[in-house]
Structure 1
Amino acid sequence: MQRIVTAELDLDLAGTADLIFSLTTARQVPLASEILTFTRDDLVHTPTEIIDQDGTRLHRLTGEPGPLRVRYEAIVEGQTGPARTSELDSIIYLRPSRYCQSDEVFSQARHQFAGLAGAELIAAVTRFVEQSVTYTPGLSLGTDSAVTTLMTGQGVCRDYAHVVIALLRAMDVPARYAACYAPGLTPMDFHAVAEAYLDGAWYVIDATRLADRRSLVRIATGRDAADCAFLSFHGAQVGLDRLHVDAWVVPDVAGPANADDPSADPFAQASVPDDYLELVQLG
């Protein structure tokens, strides 16, 4: 499966700022090509790349006052292998975090999901979050947490992921946050999903059900959204004048297809509901 992902940011810096971007695909994603540029007028900035233990690639640079154009495009060739695991995963990703307060939802989770384990538990948590949270773009705040979302019953993809993660951790299932490009997502934007650790592997949990999990492309991995922001900065104020994200699947070249055959549509997969019990790894 070949996928193309792009991101365009137009920034306005009020002064000198330390900028950290998380826009590129993770280190383990197989790429046919990749272009990342940072330009101010005719000046091209060269960032420093920093890679964390989960393969997240951060690009850091010092931005000067004025406009900054950021452009990224990558062609993903094939599927990523299984995500790496370590003994630390069962420690770090069981702890409460800023947006995933598993300690605060402990009683609710233990009562609501008593007696469930493994894939059955993951399916039950996913189904509960899907049914109890309404997708509401523009209404949730960047400071909303899993507890906030459970109280308001509204949010976007990051909020869904936070609730899933908090509830799973409360049930002793290591869970983490993944930022990704999502072909077929509507409205198109950066996407966020949860990942659950089961039987030695990480599986994607997307309670929004807005994109095909099999086509997702990993950008960043962390405890919650605080670890996976597409832009963080220190120093002067930074304005985001424009953000445009896109991602799509390149159809495989094939012979003439029967127009009456739904399977002949190269994008039909994105519209097929996936089963909660079918555990899919992020590739």
Structure 2
Amino acid sequence: MSAAAPVLMQIGVAAVAGQRLLETSCITTPGIAHTVAGHDGLGERQWLEPRTRFEVSYNVIVEIDRQPLPLANLAADSLTALPGEVLEYLFPSRYCPVDTMHAAAVDMFGHLTGGAAVEAVRDWIATHLAYVPGASHGGTTALDTFHAREGVCRDYAHLLIALVRSLGIPARMVSAYSPDVTPQDFHALAQVWLAGDWHLVDATGMADPATTAIIGVGRDAADIAFLTIFGAATLNAQVVEVRLMD
């Protein structure tokens, strides 16, 4: 970094139902200026104010107690009964242009409802997209991915979210750690609102909800970035390692 650039960081596993933090260590240079809540109040974000460079070392042991339910058995909630905080996840967002994808979604999946519709969208993406690192960039939208038929985890998640929202089912983006992700990195997947609760869905098929540790949630990738830098900076190195413990 050649000049001061405030950094908003979200890398810590969230203390939410289904996952319990047993041990946590976060060392930053310079130190954390202050902490704020993550999107929807889930997880935390830290502000740092580095002048030239900064380093972060984060370690956590998490106990996951999450029993995924078969999506096909879950009904969609009536739109008029949705909680207020869930409504924003029906609308278009920066990377999920629901308005321009609505017709295609209804044409392809409109004959299905609830979890059956979500499963069909997930399976279609899994069989029609190729996982190609470098195939997308920071401005790639779900519509771009729909036409390109390739991308990485964030593109898979954006496409699933946009199509599911187009069917009248709330969906949001999730950043997470998962031991089965290859290559290891901050992983992006989705949550869908069915039967009065959020349920994890990964169109890449790499992350098992039963072993996935949620970091944060948001409308799309803009809300869940592990680093948001307000200025210019160069990423010198990044290593993510996630493994199951006996």
Same fold (TM over 0.5): yes
How much does 1:200 deviate? 0.2
Structure 2 residue aligned with 1:250: 245
How much does 1:212 deviate? 2.1
**1 CA distance for matches of 2:46 and 2:198?**
26
Deviations 1:66-95 (A, max 9, x none): x3111100011242699xxx7124311001
Structure 2 residue aligned with 1:21: 9
**Structure 1: which 5+ residue stretches go unaligned?**
1-12, 252-283
RMSD of aligned C-alpha atoms?
1.6
Identity of aligned residues (%): 33
State whether residues 27 and 57 of structure 1, in contact with CA within 8 Å, keep that contact through their aligned partners in structure 2. no
TM-score relative to the length of structure 2: 0.89
Q: What amino acid sits opposite 1:117 in the alignment? A: T
Structure 1 position 118 matched with structure 2 position 133:
no
**Structure 2: which 5+ residue stretches go unaligned?**
69-81
Change (3 A) 1:78 1:209: closer
Corresponding pairs, count = 230
Change (3 A) 1:81 1:134: closer
Larger radius of gyration: 1
Indicate the SS of the match to 1:34: strand
How much does 1:246 deviate? 0.9
Structure 2 residue aligned with 1:56: 43
Higher helix content, 1 or 2: 2
How much does 1:144 deviate? 0.5
Structure 1 position 98 matched with structure 2 position 91:
no
**2 CA distance for matches of 1:167 and 1:185?**
23
Deviations 1:112-131 (A, max 9, x none): 11220012111111111111
How much does 1:51 deviate? 1.1
State whether residues 26 and 55 of structure 1, in contact with CA within 8 Å, keep that contact through their aligned partners in structure 2. yes
Structure 1 residue aligned with 2:210: 214
Indicate the SS of the match to 1:150: helix
Q: What amino acid sits opposite 1:69 in the alignment? A: E
State whether residues 95 and 102 of structure 1, in contact with CA within 8 Å, keep that contact through their aligned partners in structure 2. yes
How much does 1:133 deviate? 1.1
Within 5 A, what are the aligned runs for 1:225-236?
Answer: 225-235=221-231
TM-score relative to the length of structure 1: 0.78
**2 CA distance for matches of 1:208 and 1:197?**
19
State whether residues 54 and 221 of structure 1, in contact with CA within 8 Å, keep that contact through their aligned partners in structure 2. no
Deviations 1:26-80 (A, max 9, x none): 13241111111112xxxx4133111133412100021112x31111000112426
Structure 2 residue aligned with 1:275: none
Structure 2 residue aligned with 1:68: 54
How much does 1:164 deviate? 0.4
- Which runs of 4 or more aligned residues in structure 1 lie more than 4 Å from their structure 2 counterparts after TM superposition? none
**2 CA distance for matches of 1:81 and 1:133?**
28
State whether residues 32 and 46 of structure 2, in contact with CA within 8 Å, keep that contact through their aligned partners in structure 1. no
Structure 2 residue aligned with 1:271: none
Higher strand content, 1 or 2: 1
